[in-house]
């Protein structure tokens, strides 16, 4: 038998930290619409937003 484990491969950049935010219905609706339009999930949209703001602050 192979000693190779089954399951998802290890990530180079694991996302092991969790944050929780409170939003109103309007923001949640916008977040879901953006995720659907970009064919991704809520977390990816939030990460992109954080990166965008961070880049703007570096200028």
Q: How far apart are CA 13 and CA 17, in angstroms?
A: 11
The predicted pLDDT at position 4 comes to 73
Under 8 Å between Cβ of 45 and 34: yes
User: Residue 11 domain-assigned?
Assistant: no
Let me know if residue 1 belongs to a domain.
no
For residue 18, being part of any structural domain is answered with no
What is the mean pLDDT of each successive set of 10 residues along the chain, which is 59 residues long?
Answer: 74 88 97 97 96 96
Considering the entire predicted model, what is its pTM? 0.75
Reduced to 3 states (helix: H, G, I; strand: E, B; else coil), residue 46 is helix
The total of structural domains in the chain comes to 1
Tell me the CA distances in angstroms from 38 to 30, 31, 44, one per residue in order. Answer: 12, 11, 10
Is residue 36 in some structural domain? yes
Q: How far apart are the first and last CA of the chain?
A: 55
Asked, for residue 42, whether it belongs to a domain, the answer is yes
Q: Please report the pLDDT score of residue 26 as a whole number.
A: 98
């Amino acid at each position: 038998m192979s000693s190779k484990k089954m399951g998802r491969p290890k990530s180079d950049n694991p996302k092991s930290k969790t944050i929780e935010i409170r939003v109103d219905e309007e923001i949640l609706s916008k977040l879901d619409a953006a995720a659907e339009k970009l064919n991704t999930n809520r977390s990816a949209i939030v990460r992109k937003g954080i990166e965008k703001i961070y880049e703007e602050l570096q200028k």
